[in-house]
Amino acid sequence: MFYPIPLADNVFWIGTNDRRTHLFENLWPLEKGVSYNSYLIKGRHNVLIDTVEASGSDEFLDKISRVIGPEGKLDYLVINHLEPDHSGAIRPVIARYPEIRIVGNSKTFKILEQFYRVCDNLISIDESLTLDTGDRKLKFFLTPMLHWPETMMTYETGTKILFSGDAFGSFGTLDGGIFDDELNLSSYQDEIRRYYANIVGKYWNPVQKAAKSLEGTDIGIIAPTHGPVWRTNPGWILDQYLKWSRFEAETGVVIAYGSMYGHTEKMADYAGRILNEEGMRELRIYDASKTHLSYILSDLFLFRGVLMGSPAYNGGLYPPVEALISKVINTGIRNRLLGIFGSAAWGGGGVKALGQFAENIGWEMVGEPIQAKGAATEEDYSQCAAMARNMAKNLLEM
């Protein structure tokens, strides 16, 4: 969309789509791209809500000009979040509109100075203050660590739009439409969860605090900094966030493994077959060497059952599995069922390290660790079957 899209009377989406960047935060694959959503409230005073990633600055300035006119004035920039995917165009905006006043909280301005050496024309707000622009009233919700210290949300009382920053956002570009009712949401659901799992998921407590502070606010539209704008069913995305922040999960199993020569992989496949025979239909099996851990982590937010397999590598975990479980521990996922397995040729160490992971993460185990020597024996497969049956029994009887 190369022109501004109205959300309400004189409130416009002026974001950009990014189909070029391969890795978000130089970490997370962007197979479906990402949008950087910014919004412009036109009125007696013109208010910009966040900016976009630096590469979109020219398009962004052009969109601003289309809304307020080439001689128009920008009065305020509200910074809900300072991560550079939303602040990359701040310097070009200040250069074009040097009189602009920048609205944020005390934590915003520290990072603003650190990142951009911008220290002037600042208006510091907190939750007790309303920014009255003459024909608009903006209220603020401070949401620290959702997912940076300075993150906040801005609520425009007349239109009931909540500009929510990264919260309620998604990977995936906005293709043609920007609203939940203009898009095929089923094609976004996995990317909404992958975004939550990898960017927000660690901050489950701030998510719940934010939800609590929003209680009682009449939210008509949720306008996040990435992905669809929620105008028809904002309650759906709110419910998803509450569910994920409580680590509620569906009946299903993720089997994630690493395998050099196929021994651990065969154990994973066999466990999968037994789970299926036991009636488990929701099952996803991933080779951690091939599937980026962000997708596996996303499914760990979806399903309650987890089988994790690793061969020994240099006396410890196979590196892709090590990276995965490091992210899982860092995220602090709770309330899952776990089985562990793997293969080793001589000293071992992979399954032992998975056992330490199990202790650290504190999930309920569905059996003893299974350690094959080289190719799994009939006895090893029998143990895999018992582990899978126990997993299925636990999940399907819940």
* Residue ranges in contact with ligand FEO by CB under 6 A: 81, 83, 85-86, 147, 166, 225-226
139: tokens are: 């209220």
- Cβ at position 255, least distance to ligand FEO in Å: 31
Smallest Cα–Cα separation from 35: which of 244, 179, 204, 208?
179
Q: Give the whole-angstrom CA distance, residue 88 versus residue 98.
A: 16
CB of 202 to ligand FEO, least distance (A): 12
**Sign of torsion, CA 212 172 194 83?**
negative
Smaller CB separation from ligand FEO, 146 or 387 = 146
Q: Which is nearer to ligand FEO, 151 or 310 (CB)?
A: 151
| Strand, coil or helix: 45 | coil
CB 169 within 8 A of CB 225: yes
Specify the 3-state DSSP secondary structure of 84.
helix
Output 83 or 191, the one with its CB closest to ligand FEO.
83
Residue 328 DSSP label: H
Which CB sits closer to ligand FEO, 25 or 132?
A: 25
Q: Which is nearer to ligand FEO, 46 or 151 (CB)?
A: 151
Q: What's the closest the beta carbon of residue 166 comes to ligand FEO, in angstroms?
A: 4
Spatial separation of the C-alpha atoms in residues 315 and 351, rounded to whole Å: 10
Smallest gap from Cβ 180 to ligand FEO, in A, equals 19
Residue of 235, 162, 244 whose CA lies nearest to 200 = 244
Output the smallest distance, CB 262 to ligand FEO, in A.
40
Instruction: Tell the smallest beta-carbon distance from residue 224 to ligand FEO (Å).
Output: 9
Cβ proximity to ligand FEO: between 225 and 298 the closer is: 225
Strands 221-224 and 11-13: unpaired
**Residue among 146 and 395 whose Cβ is closer to ligand FEO:** 146
* Closest CB 19 distance from ligand FEO, rounded Å: 16
Asked whether 244 and 298 are in contact (CB, 8 A), the reply is no
* Closest to 82 (Cα-Cα) out of 39, 116, 56, 48: 116
Beta strands in 89-225 (DSSP E): 101-104, 122-124, 131-132, 137-142, 152-156, 161-165, 221-224
Whose Cβ is closer to ligand FEO: residue 112's or residue 312's? 112
Residue 396's Cβ-count burial label (10 Å; 0-12, 13-18, 19+) is middle
Task: Provide, rounded to whole angstroms, the least separation between the CB of residue 27 and ligand FEO.
Answer: 12
Nearest residue to ligand FEO on Cβ basis: 83
